Structure 1
Amino acid sequence: MSKYILFLLLVAGCESRSQKLMREGDLLIEKIEQFRSAKDSLPSSLVEFGESSNDEGPLYYLKQGPNEYIVYFGTALGESTVYSSKKGKWDESD
């Protein structure tokens, strides 16, 4: 029984981490879109509009062309949750 409760607590903790990072990601996406509106282009990196280095995580930004980008974070080894500007939504990826 206690192993089951521990498992549920771990799962709940992972979900809240993902939800927290998605909320933070939404704020980052908003800043990226504001940059795009002001400069008529996407930033090359997060540093270009005053964010900390992309290398440190937990959120990562990758420009995929002149009009597309992704924001993502790791959820488990080899898995991540990805926001695609092309799709306009978050998806899990493995």
Structure 2
Amino acid sequence: MRRKWWIAAGVNLLMGVPAVVPVWLLWYIAVNGPLAELGWTVREPTENDGMLLWLVIVAPIVTAFVLLWWLANDFARRWNTTAARVYWPVCALVTLVPSLTLVILT
């Protein structure tokens, strides 16, 4: 059986485009929450409503995206014979390519 890696790569690159939103939301929470508490970043000065509101907004969005990503990759995995320990981390990294491209270009 031939490894059809291009199916998995295409699915994850396409999933990477809407992944920009959950990645940005997670980054925003990290920068204004735990990383600011540790002193690694400076909290946004106008962000004084607390983080609970952000968690109420972010949790459903991230959960929906992760579920959709998992289902799409589970479907694409049927045509790929790569070992699971290689397949899933590579798919996660390929999904981050559009977000990393935006970070590098801006």
Pick the structure with more helix per residue: 2
Please give the TM-score of this superposition, normalised by the length of structure 2: 0.32
Greater C-alpha Rg: 2
Q: TM-score, normalised by structure 1?
A: 0.36
The structure with the largest strand share of the pair is 1
